[in-house]
Amino acid sequence: MIENEQDLISAINQSRPNGSMFPGNPLDKVHRQMTGGLGHSGNMSAQDTIIAQVVMADKKVRSAVRELTSALFKLNDKQAAQKLLGEHIIMLNSIFSEFE
């Protein structure tokens, strides 16, 4: 029996193949690929600046998702959590389809 939300988060993390619901380092493979050549000449191009903005925004989104997940566990209302997360999935799916 799981007694509190921290135990629940730990149980979920232990059931994950990589040991965590969220990657420990937000600067993952995609970020490394995007930022591999940034500032290579000492000056950042307009494209380098945009890439840096994308990476920073992505880090903020990942942090916000972690905070949201923690808050939803504390709320302990599965229906509300599913509804809210479902709305986010629909939003992200719409954005994703713009890039297809």
Q: How far apart are CA 12 and CA 61, in angstroms?
A: 21
Q: In 10 A of CB 70, how many CB atoms?
A: 13
pLDDT of res. 84: 95
pTM of the predicted model, to two decimals?
0.61
pLDDT of res. 51: 84
Q: Mention every residue, 6+ apart, whose C-beta is less than 8 A from residue 65.
A: 22
Q: Vertex 35, ends 34 and 38: CA angle to 5°? A: 130
pLDDT of res. 55: 85
- The model's pLDDT over 4-62, given as tens digits with 9 standing for 90+, comes to 556 656 666 655 555 556 655 555 666 666 666 555 556 667 888 888 888 889 889 98
The predicted model gives 64-76 an average pLDDT of 92
pLDDT of res. 1: 40
Q: In 10 A of CB 99, how many CB atoms?
A: 5
